[in-house]
Amino acid sequence: MSGTVARITNISARSETSFEDAVRIGVERASSTLRNVSGAWVKDQKVEVRDGHIVAWQVALEVTFVLD
């Protein structure tokens, strides 16, 4: 019998550029620690505002990785 088992972990990533950059940073960092990262789901997004201007973008990610 063959099959695949995966695990999901929650991480948060922040960027001073964009949501897309925050997702990229999060996935790259997760991939440097976890083996077999196969996907990520953006669960939440928020921005940090200072003096009426967005200064940072943050995402909450669920990262999926396949177990060996």
Q: What confidence score (pLDDT) does residue 1 get? A: 61
Report the pLDDT value the prediction gives residue 11, as an integer from 0 to 100. 98
Q: Give dist(CA 43, CA 49) in Å, integer.
A: 20
Residue 15: CA count within 13 A, CB half-sphere: 16
53 Cβ contact partners less than 8 Å away, ≥ 6 residues apart: none
Retrieve residue 9's tokens. Answer: 């972990």
- CATH number, domain 6-66: 3.30.1660.10
Look up the pTM and report it.
Answer: 0.90
For residue 57, the SS3 value is strand
DSSP one-letter code for 1: -
Instruction: Per residue of the chain (68 residues), give pLDDT as tens.
Output: 678 999 999 999 999 999 999 999 999 999 999 999 999 999 999 999 999 999 999 999 999 999 99
